[in-house]
Structure 1
Amino acid sequence: MRNKWMIYGMAALLTTAASCKKYLDVEPIGKTILTNVSDYDLFLNSQDLTSSGARELNLLSDDVDVTTIPQTPDRVEDLVYLWANQYTVDTKIPPAFWGKHYGNIYRYNAVLAGIDAAGNGTVRDKRRIKAEALLGRAFEYLYLVNLYGKPYNAATATKDLAVPFMTSVDIAEETPPRSTVADIYDRIIKDINAAIPDLNANNTGNRFRGAATAAYSVLARTYLCMGRYEDAAENARLALGDNPPAIIDYNTITNKSAIPNMAIRPFDLYARYSTNASSREYPTIALLKMFDVNDLRLKLFYENTGDYTYPKRGVANFNPSGAVSNFGTGVEEMKLIIAEAAARGGRLPEALTQVNDIRKCRIKKEVYQPLSSTDAAEVMGFVMRERRLELAFKGLRWIDMRRLDAENKMPAVYRYNANNEVIATLAPHAARYTLQIPLAVLQFNPAMPRNDE
């Protein structure tokens, strides 16, 4: 199989180069000049690498309710929302999800391939830049394995196919075969652990850049996806450190514009924009009713909520404009990972403490009451509800749905048209929980195994 699927990565890299002309020139087609260590360092600041998770991840989830689906949908976002087998038949455009992640992987591979030979830099800087690229690439593969591979199952992960693990920047090379789910997770963990010793301790000056705290946070998410909950919690604690960054208390701000820029937010550990960071989303009425009416998240991030009875679909909306959602990792996610591991391990007071640490910064202080319970199932319910509310529309619900479905904890999900008629169904254990390899990839790699339909 020819490596034509990586053309998308090359095109993206050249686009990056053209947009960053201040520090990066472009040689004739196929080559981008990265000469000195400072060039590579600046390249890691490129606009393309500050975005990762696709906004369309939200559209896959059960949190979104689109009431404007046409009778014959043909837009990519509509087909994503309906869990279509393919999202476009146009093989000339980078495919949804796949194209962005492999474009970024190509960029990180370019750094890894060239940094050792770069001039005018210290060995320490070269090692740091290489470590940041390893972390960035691992983060991209974590999305890919959770899109195109089955949910992690220790009994089948060595057989379940995921995606090709690409390390080359030579588009003439053959496409590697699809690695297994186990292989991809092993590489993610190996690369992050290899990166940690050479990373800066933190990234407080620029949350988009790699650091040890960021690396531990990505490891925490990785282990959570694998069902290794205690390992996830251990790395979440390492990400938070002995003096965890403070969660912003919504009682202390009047509007979302008071929330700091993502690059310097104390509570974001590894910052990433989505591919359409300011998009409005229309939540299901069921999700809206999960919020307490005194929850300040409703006031700050949701519009047209009225008297909180939500009599009509498609009116209230989530609008992150002014405080863009982080599709990377953050303090709240780490606390929720610790809480979930504690709840699953029967350490209910620990789980409640983590959840209440978040809630007291989200509920109006004059009515806030901490959650309490000695019932394990109830506490787990508190944790998962808070995870859903706090991380809403940050691209994680689809990944959570996949792992919950693997535990037989996901009901059927339905899509409705404007007349409340069912137009699509995602049944428990449906094959569509694993996305199909895009047609644009299969066109150049016809022998690549397909996923189940």
Structure 2
Amino acid sequence: MRNKWIICGLAVLFTTATSCKKYLDIAPVGKTILTNVSDYDLFLNSQDLTASGARELNLLGDDVDVTTIPKTPDRVEDLIYLWNAQYSTDTKVPPAFWGRHYGNIYRFNAVLVGIDNAGNGTERDRRRIKAEALLGRAFEYLYLVNLYAKPYNAATAAKDLAVPFVTSVDISDATPPRSTVAEIYDHIIGDINAAIPDLPANNTANHFRGAVTAANSVLARAYLYTGRYEAAAKYARLAMGDNPPAILDYNTIANKSAIPNMAIRPFDLYARYSTNASLKEYPTVAFLKMFDVSDLRLKLFYENTGDYTYPKRGVVAFNPSGAVANFGTCVEEMKLIIAEAAARAGRLPEALAQVNDIRKCRIKKEAYQPLSSTDAMEVMGFVMRERRLELAYKGLRWMDMRRLDAENRMPAVYRYDANNEAIATLPPHGARYTLQIPLAVLQFNPDMPRNDD
């Protein structure tokens, strides 16, 4: 099968064909509007390339509770929430997750293929733009390998199938086979390391753009997901630098509208919108009860909290409107990566210090008490709880659930209807922890190996 599946089989351009033809006009149309270095530079600011994570990632996690599921669910988001094998039988629409990430990979590849021949720019700018595209593409593949492949296992990563590694924009090229998990991670880490020498030191003027700080933060996440915790902590420290950007102290702001725009937030290292940035999520009661009632995150981001007893499901809502959640990387995530590495290595004071650095900016000053413990399991629990609370609804919980399940630390997860009847179950080590290859892809690639069902 030829690379037609990149454009047609994946439905990558079905939702963006108009905008692409207006701005990009990549083959097969036969025109090239990206001509000068400045064109490519502006293209990296496009809405598509600054929106990576799908909001629907939140629906896979155990912190959401949808009480309005119909008896016969057929909407894509409902089927995602119920961990259905396929989310749509319509092969003419973009497949959830896959289409978004490969769409952006196609765009980044267009930059990588064309930038060397772009006119009216310096060689330094060409290298910088190429480096930013390598980083952006690596970030997209980091999502894909953590959705369509089994969780990283050093013993099996060289055999476990992941996703095709696509570098071409030519529809006549042959479709690559599914790479292994090890190969995709090698590409991710290799491309980011290749990019770093040509990236600017920081992106303080626009956090949506690539920089050394952003690249190191993505490396930190990649190493975390492969279980190389000390390497993850190393790159998390590099991402923050010698003078880490200050975490915003929620004690100092009246409401979430006082939080700066994502492009200039010092604590956001690599800014990325989600596909539906302002959509509300409905937390489970169990998740809400993990918060201290003095936690200012409840006041700023959650509606209808009442007296914090949460007697009824589906009432409290997480509402990011006014302070859109970053689906990229941030200082808080880096500190939690350092904390997890320290906790796993038995460096408990270091782990606690990182967690408390975040908590003291989240709990009302008059109520704040630092966490303390000499019990390794308890400290690890503090770290993982803080990941859930601080990184909530940023598309990361599903990745953490996969990691925890691989360590035999995830219980069964249930979905309930409005009558509190269980309607779906995700058991430990369930096949649904790895998403199935979409039907829209299989239609054009009938011989592509499926994942376990």
Judge same fold: TM > 0.5, yes or no. yes
Amino acid at match of 2:363: I
1:299 is aligned to 299
How far the C-alpha of 1:35 sits from its partner, in A, is: 0.6
CA–CA separation in structure 2 for the residues paired with 1:81 and 1:179: 28
1:440 is aligned to 440
CA–CA separation in structure 1 for the residues paired with 2:297 and 2:13: 40
The answer to whether the Cα contact below 8 Å between 1:202 and 1:214 also exists between their aligned partners in 2 is: yes
How far the C-alpha of 1:31 sits from its partner, in A, is: 4.0
How far the C-alpha of 1:126 sits from its partner, in A, is: 0.4
**Higher mean C-alpha displacement, 164-173 vs 6-15:** 6-15
CA–CA separation in structure 1 for the residues paired with 2:31 and 2:409: 49
How far the C-alpha of 1:152 sits from its partner, in A, is: 0.2
CA–CA separation in structure 2 for the residues paired with 1:421 and 1:10: 40
The answer to whether the Cα contact below 8 Å between 2:94 and 2:440 also exists between their aligned partners in 1 is: yes
Amino acid at match of 1:60: L
CA–CA separation in structure 2 for the residues paired with 1:322 and 1:18: 32
1:310 is aligned to 310
Q: Does 1:396 align with 2:396?
A: yes
Summarize the Cα distance change of 1:212–1:13 in structure 2 as closer, same or farther, 3 Å threshold.
farther
Secondary structure of residue in 2 paired with 1:49: coil
The answer to whether the Cα contact below 8 Å between 2:233 and 2:337 also exists between their aligned partners in 1 is: yes
1:2-27 CA deviation, whole Å, 9 max, x = no partner? 323211344566444457x5xx6789
Amino acid at match of 1:314: G
How far the C-alpha of 1:171 sits from its partner, in A, is: 1.2
2:337 is aligned to 337
2:278 is aligned to 278
2:366 is aligned to 366
> How many residues matched?
450
Q: Does 1:200 align with 2:200?
A: yes
CA–CA separation in structure 2 for the residues paired with 1:130 and 1:109: 10
Q: Does 1:127 align with 2:127?
A: yes
Amino acid at match of 1:114: G
Amino acid at match of 1:52: S
1:245 is aligned to 245
1:266 is aligned to 266
2:137 is aligned to 137
1:178-207 CA deviation, whole Å, 9 max, x = no partner? 000000000000000000010000000000
Summarize the Cα distance change of 1:123–1:11 in structure 2 as closer, same or farther, 3 Å threshold.
farther
The answer to whether the Cα contact below 8 Å between 1:9 and 1:105 also exists between their aligned partners in 2 is: no
The answer to whether the Cα contact below 8 Å between 1:25 and 1:33 also exists between their aligned partners in 2 is: yes
The answer to whether the Cα contact below 8 Å between 2:15 and 2:94 also exists between their aligned partners in 1 is: no
Identity %: 83
Q: Aligned-residue CA RMSD in angstroms?
A: 1.3
Amino acid at match of 2:281: E
Amino acid at match of 1:234: K
1:359-379 CA deviation, whole Å, 9 max, x = no partner? 000000011011111111111
Task: Provide the TM-score with structure 1 as the length reference.
Answer: 0.97
Q: Does 1:288 align with 2:288?
A: yes
CA–CA separation in structure 2 for the residues paired with 1:421 and 1:244: 47
Amino acid at match of 1:186: D
The answer to whether the Cα contact below 8 Å between 2:14 and 2:94 also exists between their aligned partners in 1 is: no
How far the C-alpha of 1:173 sits from its partner, in A, is: 1.4
CA–CA separation in structure 2 for the residues paired with 1:62 and 1:215: 29
CA–CA separation in structure 2 for the residues paired with 1:366 and 1:247: 19
Q: Which runs of 5+ in 1 are unaligned?
A: none
2:189 is aligned to 189
1:114-151 CA deviation, whole Å, 9 max, x = no partner? 10011111110000000000000000000000000000
CA–CA separation in structure 1 for the residues paired with 2:352 and 2:160: 36
CA–CA separation in structure 1 for the residues paired with 2:449 and 2:442: 9
Alignment of 1:30-429 (within 5 A): 31-429=31-429
CA–CA separation in structure 2 for the residues paired with 1:390 and 1:181: 28
Secondary structure of residue in 2 paired with 1:424: strand
Amino acid at match of 1:127: R
Amino acid at match of 1:396: L
Secondary structure of residue in 1 paired with 2:35: coil
CA–CA separation in structure 1 for the residues paired with 2:279 and 2:346: 39
CA–CA separation in structure 2 for the residues paired with 1:131 and 1:26: 21
Amino acid at match of 1:419: N
The answer to whether the Cα contact below 8 Å between 1:108 and 1:137 also exists between their aligned partners in 2 is: yes
Q: Does 1:6 align with 2:6?
A: yes
Amino acid at match of 2:403: R
Secondary structure of residue in 2 paired with 1:162: strand
CA–CA separation in structure 2 for the residues paired with 1:402 and 1:28: 39
